[in-house]
Each structure stands twice: as structure tokens, then as C-alpha cells.
Amino acid sequence: MSKLYMLCFLLCFSMYPCKSNFQNVLLMVADDGGFEMGAYLNKICQAPNLDKLAKKSLIFSNAFTSVSSCSPSRSAILTGLPAHQNGMYGLHQGVHHFNSFDKIHSLPKLLQKHNIRTGIIGKKHVGPKQVYSFDFEETEENNSILQVGRNITKIKLLVRKFLQQNQSQPFFLYVGFHDPHRCGHTHPEYGNFCEKFGNGEPGMGLIPDWEPIYYQPDQLKVPYFVQDTVAAHEDIAAQYTTISRLDQGVGLVLKELENAGVLENTLVMYTSDNGIPFPSGRTNFYDPGMAEPFLLSSPRKDDRHNEVTYSMTSLLDIVPTVLDWFNVSYPEGSELTGISLLPLLKQEPKEDKRAVFGSHNHHEVTMYYPMRVIRTKRYKLIHNMNYKMPFPIDQDFYLSQSFQDLLNRTQSKQPLFWYKTLQDYYYRSEWELYDLKYDPNESRNLAEKSSYKAVLTDLKQQLTQWQVKTLDPWICSPHGVLENQGLFKDHPSCLPLHNEL
């Protein structure tokens, strides 16, 4: 090798980005994020980096999480299996300590077997470690979650470190932002959404790359599922400020990939784990809880960009999409219910009769409220198995301005300026059927309507088939007991409890 060639070679790696021929994947996941960007027709919240990414992406208008709770959703994103199938029944951390089963195939472990380097930066919130093991890990397990999840300058530098450490393998990089999750429960000094963290004010620290955007509460519009009161407007304003940090973080991450010369070979995905932490949002299977933003940006010029797809999509589709991109097969003897989204980058299907499904068991350990859901483009059917108990409220949402406002107004018999009452919100029917064509706000339960009996029967059958396919332990709840061992080993059966009133 000539001295001149060697010099050029060294300069390439030390000073300038070298273009890579590897095909990579970047997955960015917001924490309790929603549709707060212009690409999804929000005209108030400013998110220029997400909007810029959207112009380079296929924009999904019908993407849904399979579970509206953080750890269960992240486990589903990283395994392609619903929470009841992978074992992550509730939140992973602390005394709750939910974990996936030990023999589950996770995306990072599958990719590592094919010489694909894996990295995670930011919020992880899943376990056990041997199942969700990445080659490069900078998460709440070895850092402050505020630093790796909200300090976008630190996130930027960690992405740079990941890209510099190994340039001889294709990579899968997962960036888990902690924004715009509430933090009033754990760090009230930083505001309801940690909107003050790193803003440069005394005691708040400084995030050099963040330029906060502030909003006037009275100039904001609340979504239909949030009460139209001063307290709720202030809550939304704080959330929007935190979105600015998330958005600028997205821009920094993409810039690092561009500087490293790998962005033009990287499939980029952006989504959120579940709905926003407001009434009918996170922990619910109403659309505010399960509908998600989803951007899929392909580096291939002949793929669809700055277009919208109306195809029904589940976050369970992420694993098969990534495996398809890397041409990696899922292990034999196992089956995923999700599908690869790469064909959508070529053309919209002529017909879309697909249904997406979801399952929820816990959020916090005390919040046992098992639900199953099937959603098509027109209909949604929710099965509330614990329907005789009040719907549970999680700790950080309980302390929020929005929920306290609902409590105080209800107790003092003031107008709620909301589309429900707390009584309606707490106590739900076992079956909730909605015709989304005529009732997009899911306000009229049609499960008892004789004119919808055929629809109800069909959706119940499809939901049961999915539960069977995904080995759902709750398949007989709440009116039967599943017997699948001993005398029933070869013909599992739901034996009746005769507990219906």
C-alpha cells in the first residue's frame, strides 16, 4: 500500500465521514408521544425536525400500538409478540419487576447472530437483560434516565460514540427518548413534563443544544378527549414545550448519522410506545391510547416519500420489517402475527381488510385491568375482562393538572367541559363496540344494538382466533377457566364459571 493511499485512508477515518455500503436501521421511539407535529395536522405545536423527516417518509395514518403501556409496548416492539405472549405483563422497573420470558427471541439477539451490531440509547425499560441484550447500551440501567432520555446533547454524543466505535458492521440503533413523558410524580421540581429540565434557569441545568419553545395556554386547542379548561390547557402547553426537546433531539440524531456518512444507507423509523398521558390516552384502548404516529423513511430513491399510507398497521410490524430489511429469517417453530411494512414503500395495497389487535393486563402492578381489542378501519371491539371494577388510574396521571381538575370539578359539581363523566370513565361495559365511520370519538357503545349483532359476532370470532394463535392465557376470562393440562392436554378447553349476572 502506497504512503499516499495510506494517508488518504487514515484521513477518511479521522477527519471526514466515509460512506458506508451497509444497510442499517435507526428506530426512534418517543415516550407517551402523540401527533404533535404539522405532518399530522397539528398547527400549533412546532416540530420542524419531525416534519422534515415526514417529508422524506411514508406517513402512516392508521398505526396502532398493541398495548397502551410503556414496558409491555416496548417488549412488543422489540420481540414482535404481544405482551401476553412475551410475558411482559406490566411495568418492568422497581417493585413491579415484570419481565419477558427467558426464551423469547428479541430483535437485538436475532440481529447479533447475523453480524449486525446493535445499540440502545435512552429509555430501555424492559427485561430480563439476557433477552434484551444490545452490543452498545447507554440507558437508565447505567445512567440517569433524565440524561440519556431528555438531555439531547448527551444523546447526540452517545450516538456519535456508537457510530465511531465500529464501522465494519451494519447496525440497528434504537434511540428511546424519555420525552414527552410526565415527570411530576418523580421530579416535580422540573415541571409536569420536565419542561424546565435543562432550560438554563437557576437550578434547572442547561442542555446546550436545546432551544425551548413556550406556548400560551389560552392559545392552544385541546383534543376532543381532554376537557376544555384552564388546567388542561396549561398541561398541554407544558407537554408541547417538552415536544420541542424531543423534536430537536430527533434532528441531532439524524445529523449525527449524516455526518458519519451512513444516513443515506439507513432505514429510519419514528413512533411512540403508547398514547399521550391524558384522559382516554395511555393505558386505554380508545384511539387516543392506541393510535400512534409512525414515519418510515427509506434511503432508496424509488421508494415512496412524502406520501401517506392508510394501511392498517401495528407496532408488532416493526420486528418483521427490520428482519426483512436485513434479510434475516425469524426462527423456525415460531410465528409472528405482524407483517413487514417494506412492501408499502412500493405501493398502496388495492384492498386493505386487515385488522390490528391489542392486549393489556397491567400498567403499574396495582392496575390490573385486562383488556383485548380488535380494530379495523371501520370498527373497534374492546373486551374489558375486569369490567365490574373501576378503571385504574396510574400515579403520575393522577397527580397531573388535568386529572386533578376532573376530580375537583366532579367533587364540587362544577361543569367538566369534557365528553364523559368520571363515572362513565371508571365503569365500562364488558364489550364496547364502536362504528368509527359515524362515531370517531368512540362515544356510543353499540354492543347491545341488534343491528350490529353480525358485526359483533364477526369481530369476537376474529379476536378469539388471534388469542388462540398468540397463546393468550386470558382467553377464557372472565367467564371461564382455561384447562390445558392433564386430561385437557390434547384439547384445551374453557370450562364455564356461570358467573354472569
Catalytic residues: 70
* Cell numbers given for 25: 436501521
User: What are the two backbone dihedrals, phi and then psi, of residue 432, each rounded to the nearest 5 degrees?
Assistant: -120, 120
Residue 293, classed as helix, strand or coil, is: strand
Q: State the CB neighbour count (10 A cutoff) for residue 270.
A: 27
User: Grid coordinates standing for 3?
Assistant: 504512503
Which has the closest alpha carbon to 179: 103, 267, 295, 277? 277
Q: Rounded to 5 degrees, what are φ and ψ at 425? A: -70, -40
> How far apart are alpha carbons 399 and 408 in whole angstroms?
12
Residue pair 245/212 in contact (Cβ under 8 Å)? The answer is yes
Residue 207 CA to residue 181 CA, distance in Å, equals: 18
For the chain, helix, strand, coil in percent to 5 are: 35, 15, 50
Buried b (16+ CB within 10 A) or exposed e, 52-83: ebbeebbbbebbbbbbbbbbbbbbbbbbbbbb
CA distances from 365 to 77, 79, 469 (A): 21, 22, 26
- Cβ burial, residue 229 (10 Å; 0-12/13-18/19+): buried
CA trace torsion 363, 366, 372, 378 (10° rounding): -60
Which three cell numbers, joined as nine digits, stand for 434?
364502536
Q: Which residues pair with 176 in a beta bridge?
A: 29, 122
Give how far Cα 345 sits from Cα of 58, 63, 229, Å. Answer: 7, 15, 42
CB atoms within 10 A of CB 230: 11
What sign has the CA pseudo-torsion 282, 285, 289, 290?
Answer: positive
Q: How many residues does the chain have?
A: 501
